[in-house]
Amino acid sequence: MISFDEAIALIASAADPLGTERVGIGEAAGRVLAQPVVAAIDSPRADVSAMDGYAVRRTDLGPYPVGLKLVGESLPGAGWAGTVEAGQCVRIFTGAPLPTGTDRIVIQERVRRDGDKISIDGDPGPATWVRPRGKDFCAAGEILRAGRLLDPTALIAAAGADVAEVEVFERPRVVVLSNGDELVQPGEARKSALAVPDSASPGVASLADQWGAQIVSRTRLPDDLEQMRAAASAVFASADLVVVIGGASVGERDFAKAMFSHQGLGLLFDKISIRPGKPAWLGRAGRKLVLGLPGNPTSALVTGRLLLAPLLTAMQGRQIDQALSWEPARLATPIPACDQRETFHRAHLAGDQVSLVGFQESHAQKALADADVLVRQRAHSPAFVTGDTVQVLRL
Protein backbone atom coordinates (compact mmCIF):
# COMPACT_ATOMS: atom_id res chain seq x y z
CA MET A 1 0.00 0.00 0.00
CA ILE A 2 1.48 3.34 -1.05
CA SER A 3 1.17 6.87 0.31
CA PHE A 4 -0.89 9.64 -1.25
CA ASP A 5 2.23 11.49 -2.41
CA GLU A 6 3.54 8.31 -4.04
CA ALA A 7 0.21 7.84 -5.83
CA ILE A 8 0.36 11.40 -7.17
CA ALA A 9 3.91 10.84 -8.42
CA LEU A 10 2.78 7.71 -10.28
CA ILE A 11 -0.16 9.61 -11.79
CA ALA A 12 2.21 12.33 -12.97
CA SER A 13 4.46 9.79 -14.67
CA ALA A 14 1.55 7.91 -16.29
CA ALA A 15 -0.55 10.80 -17.57
CA ASP A 16 0.74 11.86 -20.96
CA PRO A 17 -0.94 14.77 -22.75
CA LEU A 18 -3.16 13.75 -25.63
CA GLY A 19 -3.09 15.19 -29.14
CA THR A 20 -3.92 18.77 -30.07
CA GLU A 21 -6.54 20.48 -32.20
CA ARG A 22 -7.48 23.98 -33.36
CA VAL A 23 -10.75 25.40 -32.12
CA GLY A 24 -12.49 28.71 -32.55
CA ILE A 25 -12.20 31.21 -29.74
CA GLY A 26 -15.93 30.87 -29.08
CA GLU A 27 -15.53 27.15 -28.35
CA ALA A 28 -12.29 27.39 -26.39
CA ALA A 29 -13.62 28.01 -22.87
CA GLY A 30 -12.14 25.59 -20.38
CA ARG A 31 -9.58 24.20 -22.81
CA VAL A 32 -5.81 24.17 -22.27
CA LEU A 33 -3.43 25.87 -24.68
CA ALA A 34 -1.01 23.60 -26.50
CA GLN A 35 0.71 26.53 -28.23
CA PRO A 36 1.22 30.11 -27.02
CA VAL A 37 -1.19 32.82 -28.12
CA VAL A 38 0.65 35.50 -30.11
CA ALA A 39 -0.97 38.89 -30.69
CA ALA A 40 -1.96 39.76 -34.24
CA ILE A 41 -2.41 43.47 -33.45
CA ASP A 42 -1.30 46.17 -31.03
CA SER A 43 -3.50 47.04 -28.09
CA PRO A 44 -4.52 49.81 -28.10
CA ARG A 45 -4.41 50.05 -31.90
CA ALA A 46 -3.45 53.74 -31.65
CA ASP A 47 -2.97 56.43 -29.01
CA VAL A 48 -6.50 56.62 -27.59
CA SER A 49 -8.39 58.59 -25.00
CA ALA A 50 -8.90 57.10 -21.54
CA MET A 51 -11.77 59.49 -20.75
CA ASP A 52 -14.52 61.55 -22.32
CA GLY A 53 -13.28 65.08 -22.85
CA TYR A 54 -11.34 67.24 -25.32
CA ALA A 55 -8.15 66.43 -27.21
CA VAL A 56 -5.79 69.40 -27.04
CA ARG A 57 -2.19 70.44 -27.63
CA ARG A 58 -0.19 70.61 -24.43
CA THR A 59 1.46 73.82 -25.65
CA ASP A 60 -1.95 75.55 -25.77
CA LEU A 61 -2.55 75.10 -22.03
CA GLY A 62 -1.87 78.11 -19.80
CA PRO A 63 -1.83 80.76 -18.73
CA TYR A 64 -5.44 80.29 -17.56
CA PRO A 65 -8.19 80.72 -18.41
CA VAL A 66 -7.63 79.20 -21.87
CA GLY A 67 -10.09 79.46 -24.75
CA LEU A 68 -9.97 76.99 -27.68
CA LYS A 69 -11.97 76.49 -30.85
CA LEU A 70 -13.76 73.14 -31.32
CA VAL A 71 -13.02 71.84 -34.84
CA GLY A 72 -14.22 68.23 -34.81
CA GLU A 73 -15.18 65.06 -32.98
CA SER A 74 -13.34 61.75 -32.48
CA LEU A 75 -15.35 58.59 -31.76
CA PRO A 76 -14.22 55.00 -31.09
CA GLY A 77 -13.80 53.40 -34.51
CA ALA A 78 -14.29 56.73 -36.26
CA GLY A 79 -11.49 59.13 -35.47
CA TRP A 80 -11.16 62.74 -36.68
CA ALA A 81 -9.08 62.87 -39.87
CA GLY A 82 -7.74 66.42 -39.70
CA THR A 83 -4.77 67.98 -37.92
CA VAL A 84 -5.32 70.11 -34.84
CA GLU A 85 -3.61 73.48 -35.11
CA ALA A 86 -2.69 76.00 -32.43
CA GLY A 87 -5.73 77.26 -30.54
CA GLN A 88 -7.93 74.33 -31.64
CA CYS A 89 -9.33 71.18 -29.95
CA VAL A 90 -11.43 68.12 -30.78
CA ARG A 91 -14.27 66.59 -28.78
CA ILE A 92 -13.22 63.01 -27.91
CA PHE A 93 -14.75 59.98 -26.25
CA THR A 94 -13.27 57.08 -24.30
CA GLY A 95 -11.44 54.70 -26.62
CA ALA A 96 -11.34 57.11 -29.57
CA PRO A 97 -8.00 57.78 -31.33
CA LEU A 98 -6.17 61.04 -30.64
CA PRO A 99 -6.26 63.41 -33.62
CA THR A 100 -2.98 64.34 -35.23
CA GLY A 101 -1.36 67.26 -33.41
CA THR A 102 -2.88 66.54 -29.99
CA ASP A 103 -1.03 64.96 -27.08
CA ARG A 104 -3.37 65.03 -24.09
CA ILE A 105 -7.01 65.00 -22.99
CA VAL A 106 -8.73 67.52 -20.77
CA ILE A 107 -11.63 65.67 -19.15
CA GLN A 108 -15.03 67.16 -19.75
CA GLU A 109 -15.55 67.98 -16.05
CA ARG A 110 -12.78 70.61 -16.31
CA VAL A 111 -14.23 72.31 -19.40
CA ARG A 112 -17.01 74.82 -20.11
CA ARG A 113 -18.45 74.69 -23.62
CA ASP A 114 -20.36 77.31 -25.55
CA GLY A 115 -21.12 76.18 -29.10
CA ASP A 116 -17.80 75.68 -30.89
CA LYS A 117 -15.81 77.37 -28.10
CA ILE A 118 -14.48 75.79 -24.92
CA SER A 119 -12.95 77.40 -21.83
CA ILE A 120 -10.50 75.78 -19.40
CA ASP A 121 -10.44 77.89 -16.27
CA GLY A 122 -7.54 76.27 -14.40
CA ASP A 123 -4.72 73.74 -14.61
CA PRO A 124 -6.37 70.35 -15.45
CA GLY A 125 -3.61 68.43 -13.62
CA PRO A 126 -0.70 66.26 -14.69
CA ALA A 127 -2.66 63.29 -16.06
CA THR A 128 -2.73 63.16 -19.85
CA TRP A 129 -5.58 60.59 -19.99
CA VAL A 130 -3.92 59.05 -23.04
CA ARG A 131 -3.45 55.32 -23.53
CA PRO A 132 -0.40 54.96 -25.80
CA ARG A 133 -0.47 52.56 -28.73
CA GLY A 134 0.71 49.10 -27.65
CA LYS A 135 0.67 49.91 -23.93
CA ASP A 136 -1.16 46.64 -23.19
CA PHE A 137 0.64 44.50 -25.78
CA CYS A 138 2.20 44.71 -29.23
CA ALA A 139 1.70 42.64 -32.36
CA ALA A 140 3.86 39.48 -32.45
CA GLY A 141 4.15 39.46 -28.65
CA GLU A 142 3.26 36.36 -26.64
CA ILE A 143 0.00 36.96 -24.78
CA LEU A 144 -0.65 33.55 -23.19
CA ARG A 145 1.81 30.73 -22.58
CA ALA A 146 1.29 27.09 -23.55
CA GLY A 147 -0.39 25.17 -20.73
CA ARG A 148 -2.64 28.08 -19.76
CA LEU A 149 -6.22 27.20 -18.96
CA LEU A 150 -8.54 29.29 -21.10
CA ASP A 151 -10.61 30.77 -18.32
CA PRO A 152 -12.65 33.97 -18.82
CA THR A 153 -9.65 36.27 -18.26
CA ALA A 154 -7.49 34.34 -20.73
CA LEU A 155 -10.27 34.35 -23.32
CA ILE A 156 -10.51 38.14 -23.09
CA ALA A 157 -6.76 38.44 -23.69
CA ALA A 158 -6.80 36.02 -26.63
CA ALA A 159 -9.80 37.64 -28.29
CA GLY A 160 -8.36 41.11 -27.66
CA ALA A 161 -5.23 40.01 -29.51
CA ASP A 162 -7.43 39.40 -32.57
CA VAL A 163 -6.94 35.63 -32.41
CA ALA A 164 -9.74 33.67 -34.08
CA GLU A 165 -8.47 30.15 -33.32
CA VAL A 166 -6.23 28.57 -30.69
CA GLU A 167 -4.26 25.33 -30.55
CA VAL A 168 -5.45 23.33 -27.54
CA PHE A 169 -4.93 19.89 -26.08
CA GLU A 170 -7.65 17.39 -26.82
CA ARG A 171 -10.09 16.78 -24.00
CA PRO A 172 -9.67 13.32 -22.45
CA ARG A 173 -12.54 11.04 -23.43
CA VAL A 174 -13.86 9.50 -20.22
CA VAL A 175 -16.18 6.54 -19.66
CA VAL A 176 -17.66 6.14 -16.17
CA LEU A 177 -18.68 2.63 -15.09
CA SER A 178 -20.39 2.04 -11.75
CA ASN A 179 -20.72 -1.49 -10.34
CA GLY A 180 -23.29 -3.03 -8.05
CA ASP A 181 -26.42 -5.17 -8.29
CA GLU A 182 -28.09 -2.84 -5.81
CA LEU A 183 -27.65 0.31 -7.92
CA VAL A 184 -30.57 1.78 -9.84
CA GLN A 185 -31.28 5.01 -11.68
CA PRO A 186 -32.09 7.85 -9.21
CA GLY A 187 -35.88 8.00 -8.94
CA GLU A 188 -36.23 4.21 -9.14
CA ALA A 189 -34.92 3.14 -5.72
CA ARG A 190 -38.26 3.81 -4.00
CA LYS A 191 -39.72 0.85 -5.88
CA SER A 192 -37.61 -1.69 -3.97
CA ALA A 193 -36.47 -1.76 -0.35
CA LEU A 194 -33.12 -3.25 -1.43
CA ALA A 195 -32.34 -0.78 -4.19
CA VAL A 196 -29.85 2.08 -3.84
CA PRO A 197 -29.77 5.16 -6.09
CA ASP A 198 -26.59 5.42 -8.15
CA SER A 199 -25.45 8.74 -6.68
CA ALA A 200 -21.69 8.36 -7.10
CA SER A 201 -21.49 8.17 -10.89
CA PRO A 202 -23.29 11.46 -11.70
CA GLY A 203 -21.11 13.25 -9.14
CA VAL A 204 -17.87 11.74 -10.46
CA ALA A 205 -18.90 12.43 -14.08
CA SER A 206 -19.63 16.05 -13.15
CA LEU A 207 -16.25 16.32 -11.44
CA ALA A 208 -14.53 14.95 -14.55
CA ASP A 209 -16.40 17.43 -16.75
CA GLN A 210 -15.40 20.26 -14.40
CA TRP A 211 -11.75 19.28 -14.89
CA GLY A 212 -11.93 19.24 -18.67
CA ALA A 213 -13.04 15.71 -19.57
CA GLN A 214 -15.37 14.82 -22.39
CA ILE A 215 -17.85 12.34 -20.88
CA VAL A 216 -18.46 9.67 -23.52
CA SER A 217 -20.83 7.52 -21.47
CA ARG A 218 -21.91 6.66 -17.94
CA THR A 219 -23.09 3.09 -17.37
CA ARG A 220 -24.23 0.97 -14.41
CA LEU A 221 -23.10 -2.66 -14.41
CA PRO A 222 -24.28 -5.70 -12.42
CA ASP A 223 -21.86 -7.75 -10.35
CA ASP A 224 -21.45 -10.25 -13.16
CA LEU A 225 -17.93 -10.74 -14.48
CA GLU A 226 -18.88 -11.74 -18.02
CA GLN A 227 -21.25 -8.80 -18.45
CA MET A 228 -18.62 -6.50 -17.00
CA ARG A 229 -15.95 -7.84 -19.38
CA ALA A 230 -18.29 -7.32 -22.32
CA ALA A 231 -18.96 -3.74 -21.20
CA ALA A 232 -15.25 -3.07 -20.81
CA SER A 233 -14.55 -4.35 -24.32
CA ALA A 234 -17.37 -2.24 -25.75
CA VAL A 235 -16.22 1.07 -24.27
CA PHE A 236 -12.47 0.72 -24.49
CA ALA A 237 -12.06 1.98 -28.03
CA SER A 238 -14.00 5.17 -27.32
CA ALA A 239 -12.15 6.22 -24.14
CA ASP A 240 -8.78 7.63 -23.16
CA LEU A 241 -9.62 7.03 -19.50
CA VAL A 242 -12.08 4.61 -17.92
CA VAL A 243 -13.24 5.43 -14.39
CA VAL A 244 -14.65 2.49 -12.46
CA ILE A 245 -16.65 3.15 -9.31
CA GLY A 246 -16.95 0.26 -6.85
CA GLY A 247 -15.93 -3.37 -7.02
CA ALA A 248 -12.41 -2.64 -5.81
CA SER A 249 -12.44 -4.47 -2.46
CA VAL A 250 -11.69 -8.15 -1.83
CA GLY A 251 -15.21 -9.55 -1.86
CA GLU A 252 -16.22 -12.52 -4.00
CA ARG A 253 -18.15 -10.22 -6.33
CA ASP A 254 -15.62 -7.40 -6.63
CA PHE A 255 -14.62 -7.61 -10.29
CA ALA A 256 -13.48 -4.04 -11.07
CA LYS A 257 -9.97 -5.12 -12.03
CA ALA A 258 -10.81 -8.56 -13.43
CA MET A 259 -13.21 -7.02 -15.95
CA PHE A 260 -10.19 -5.59 -17.83
CA SER A 261 -8.17 -8.81 -18.00
CA HIS A 262 -8.87 -9.16 -21.73
CA GLN A 263 -7.36 -5.68 -22.27
CA GLY A 264 -4.12 -6.69 -20.56
CA LEU A 265 -4.54 -4.43 -17.54
CA GLY A 266 -1.36 -3.78 -15.59
CA LEU A 267 -1.64 -2.05 -12.22
CA LEU A 268 0.40 1.07 -11.48
CA PHE A 269 -0.81 1.09 -7.89
CA ASP A 270 -3.35 -0.84 -5.87
CA LYS A 271 -4.61 0.66 -2.61
CA ILE A 272 -3.51 3.94 -1.04
CA SER A 273 -2.95 4.61 2.63
CA ILE A 274 -5.60 7.32 2.83
CA ARG A 275 -9.00 7.79 4.45
CA PRO A 276 -11.38 7.81 2.66
CA GLY A 277 -10.29 6.08 -0.53
CA LYS A 278 -8.04 3.18 0.50
CA PRO A 279 -9.30 0.83 -2.31
CA ALA A 280 -8.45 3.33 -5.11
CA TRP A 281 -6.23 1.98 -7.88
CA LEU A 282 -4.75 2.95 -11.23
CA GLY A 283 -3.88 0.73 -14.17
CA ARG A 284 -2.89 0.86 -17.80
CA ALA A 285 -4.07 -1.29 -20.69
CA GLY A 286 -2.16 -0.40 -23.83
CA ARG A 287 -2.39 3.39 -24.12
CA LYS A 288 -5.57 3.58 -22.02
CA LEU A 289 -5.71 4.40 -18.34
CA VAL A 290 -8.17 2.89 -15.89
CA LEU A 291 -8.81 4.57 -12.54
CA GLY A 292 -10.69 2.67 -9.85
CA LEU A 293 -12.59 4.61 -7.17
CA PRO A 294 -14.37 3.28 -4.06
CA GLY A 295 -18.08 2.56 -4.28
CA ASN A 296 -19.30 4.67 -1.37
CA PRO A 297 -20.39 8.04 -2.78
CA THR A 298 -18.36 10.28 -0.47
CA SER A 299 -15.27 8.11 -0.90
CA ALA A 300 -15.75 8.15 -4.67
CA LEU A 301 -16.03 11.92 -4.92
CA VAL A 302 -13.27 12.73 -2.42
CA THR A 303 -10.91 10.26 -4.07
CA GLY A 304 -11.94 11.59 -7.46
CA ARG A 305 -11.01 15.11 -6.37
CA LEU A 306 -7.65 13.87 -5.06
CA LEU A 307 -6.75 11.53 -7.95
CA LEU A 308 -9.03 12.03 -10.96
CA ALA A 309 -8.71 15.82 -11.07
CA PRO A 310 -4.87 15.71 -11.11
CA LEU A 311 -4.93 12.89 -13.67
CA LEU A 312 -7.16 14.86 -16.06
CA THR A 313 -5.07 17.98 -15.49
CA ALA A 314 -1.87 16.19 -16.51
CA MET A 315 -3.57 14.59 -19.52
CA GLN A 316 -4.27 18.12 -20.79
CA GLY A 317 -0.70 19.36 -20.59
CA ARG A 318 -0.93 21.21 -17.28
CA GLN A 319 1.19 20.80 -14.18
CA ILE A 320 -0.36 18.31 -11.80
CA ASP A 321 -0.06 20.66 -8.82
CA GLN A 322 -2.52 23.00 -10.53
CA ALA A 323 -5.20 20.54 -9.45
CA LEU A 324 -3.77 20.20 -5.93
CA SER A 325 -3.52 23.79 -4.79
CA TRP A 326 -3.45 23.57 -0.99
CA GLU A 327 -4.26 26.71 1.00
CA PRO A 328 -3.72 27.54 4.67
CA ALA A 329 -6.72 27.98 6.93
CA ARG A 330 -7.29 28.28 10.67
CA LEU A 331 -9.08 25.39 12.29
CA ALA A 332 -12.34 26.21 14.05
CA THR A 333 -12.98 22.66 15.28
CA PRO A 334 -10.42 20.26 16.85
CA ILE A 335 -9.28 17.07 15.09
CA PRO A 336 -8.01 13.96 16.92
CA ALA A 337 -4.55 12.51 16.20
CA CYS A 338 -4.17 10.61 12.93
CA ASP A 339 -3.19 6.94 12.62
CA GLN A 340 -1.12 5.40 9.82
CA ARG A 341 -3.59 6.43 7.11
CA GLU A 342 -3.46 10.01 5.88
CA THR A 343 -6.94 11.51 6.30
CA PHE A 344 -8.89 14.04 4.27
CA HIS A 345 -11.68 15.54 6.36
CA ARG A 346 -14.73 17.15 4.74
CA ALA A 347 -15.12 20.72 5.94
CA HIS A 348 -16.62 24.13 5.31
CA LEU A 349 -14.46 27.22 4.76
CA ALA A 350 -15.69 30.66 5.86
CA GLY A 351 -13.10 33.36 5.32
CA ASP A 352 -9.92 31.88 6.76
CA GLN A 353 -11.77 29.68 9.26
CA VAL A 354 -12.44 26.01 8.47
CA SER A 355 -14.91 23.79 10.33
CA LEU A 356 -15.32 20.05 9.89
CA VAL A 357 -18.78 18.85 8.92
CA GLY A 358 -20.33 16.73 11.62
CA PHE A 359 -20.73 13.44 9.73
CA GLN A 360 -17.52 12.07 8.22
CA GLU A 361 -18.63 8.55 7.23
CA SER A 362 -17.75 7.42 3.70
CA HIS A 363 -21.42 6.91 2.76
CA ALA A 364 -22.50 10.39 3.91
CA GLN A 365 -24.14 12.40 1.12
CA LYS A 366 -25.92 15.35 2.75
CA ALA A 367 -22.80 16.09 4.80
CA LEU A 368 -20.73 15.96 1.62
CA ALA A 369 -23.01 18.60 0.11
CA ASP A 370 -22.34 20.80 3.16
CA ALA A 371 -18.58 20.63 2.57
CA ASP A 372 -16.58 22.82 0.19
CA VAL A 373 -13.00 21.89 1.15
CA LEU A 374 -10.91 18.95 2.29
CA VAL A 375 -8.65 19.31 5.32
CA ARG A 376 -5.42 17.34 4.98
CA GLN A 377 -4.10 15.48 8.03
CA ARG A 378 -0.91 13.56 7.36
CA ALA A 379 -0.31 10.09 8.72
CA HIS A 380 0.80 9.85 12.37
CA SER A 381 0.23 13.56 12.95
CA PRO A 382 -0.77 14.69 16.45
CA ALA A 383 -4.15 16.11 17.28
CA PHE A 384 -5.06 19.56 15.92
CA VAL A 385 -6.61 22.09 18.26
CA THR A 386 -8.78 25.09 17.51
CA GLY A 387 -6.68 27.85 15.98
CA ASP A 388 -4.09 25.55 14.40
CA THR A 389 -3.18 26.22 10.77
CA VAL A 390 -4.14 23.39 8.43
CA GLN A 391 -3.97 22.85 4.68
CA VAL A 392 -7.22 22.77 2.72
CA LEU A 393 -8.15 21.88 -0.86
CA ARG A 394 -11.25 23.25 -2.52
CA LEU A 395 -13.73 20.60 -3.67
What pLDDT is recorded for position 384?
Answer: 96
Note whether 213 and 252 are within 8 A (CB).
Answer: no
The CATH number assigned to the domain with range 48-131 reads 2.170.190.11
Q: Please, where in the chain does CATH 3.40.980.10 lie?
A: 4-16+171-322
Is pLDDT at 254 greater than 80 in this prediction? no
Q: What is the pTM of this model?
A: 0.89
The set of residues, in sequence order, having a beta carbon less than 8 Å from that of 150 and lying 6+ positions away, is: 28, 29, 30, 31, 32, 33, 144, 158, 166, 168
What CA–CA distance (Å, rounded) separates 1 from 331? 30
- How does residue 250 score in pLDDT terms, banded at 50, 70 and 90? low
User: What is each CA distance from 166 to 29, 32, 105, 140, 281, in whole angstroms?
Assistant: 11, 10, 37, 15, 35
Q: Please, where in the chain does CATH 3.90.105.10 lie?
A: 27-43+138-169
What pLDDT is recorded for position 44?
Answer: 97
- How does residue 256 score in pLDDT terms, banded at 50, 70 and 90? confident
Is pLDDT at 272 greater than 80 in this prediction? yes
User: What is each CA distance from 151 to 32, 144, 330, in whole angstroms?
Assistant: 9, 11, 29
Is pLDDT at 249 greater than 70 in this prediction? no
What CA–CA distance (Å, rounded) separates 296 from 214? 24
User: What is each CA distance from 313 to 26, 184, 215, 278, in whole angstroms?
Assistant: 22, 31, 15, 22
pLDDT in tens, 122-177: 999 999 999 999 999 999 999 999 999 999 999 999 999 999 999 999 999 999 99
For 327-394, the fitting CATH number among 3.40.50.720, 1.20.1740.10, 1.10.3720.10, 2.40.340.10 is 2.40.340.10
Choose between 102 and 247: higher pLDDT: 102
The set of residues, in sequence order, having a beta carbon less than 8 Å from that of 167 and lying 6+ positions away, is: 20, 21, 22, 33, 34, 35
- How does residue 252 score in pLDDT terms, banded at 50, 70 and 90? low
- Residue 16: exposure state from Cβ atoms within 10 A (0-12, 13-18, ≥19): exposed
Is pLDDT at 248 greater than 80 in this prediction? no
pLDDT in tens, 328-384: 999 999 999 999 999 999 999 999 999 999 888 888 899 999 999 999 999 999 999
What CA–CA distance (Å, rounded) separates 362 from 135? 54
For 27-43+138-169, the fitting CATH number among 3.90.105.10, 3.40.50.300, 3.30.1780.10, 3.40.190.10 is 3.90.105.10
Note whether 70 and 91 are within 8 A (CB).
Answer: yes
| Mean pLDDT to the nearest integer, 63-85 | 96
What pLDDT is recorded for position 236?
Answer: 86
Q: Please, where in the chain does CATH 2.170.190.11 lie?
A: 48-131
Q: Please, where in the chain does CATH 2.40.340.10 lie?
A: 327-394
Q: 4-16+171-322, which class in CATH?
A: alpha beta
What pLDDT is recorded for position 70?
Answer: 98
**Residue 389, beta-bridge partner list:** 330
What pLDDT is recorded for position 253?
Answer: 60
User: What is each CA distance from 205 to 5, 31, 176, in whole angstroms?
Assistant: 24, 17, 7
pLDDT in tens, 173-227: 999 999 998 999 999 999 999 999 999 999 999 999 999 999 999 999 998 899 9
What CA–CA distance (Å, rounded) separates 112 from 122? 11
Which one-letter amino acid corresponds to residue 333? Answer: T
N-term to C-term CA, the chain: 25
What CA–CA distance (Å, rounded) separates 39 from 137? 8
pLDDT in tens, 24-72: 999 999 999 999 999 999 999 999 999 999 999 999 998 999 999 999 9
What CA–CA distance (Å, rounded) separates 50 from 21? 38
Which one-letter amino acid corresponds to residue 1? Answer: M
CB atoms within 10 A of CB 121: 11
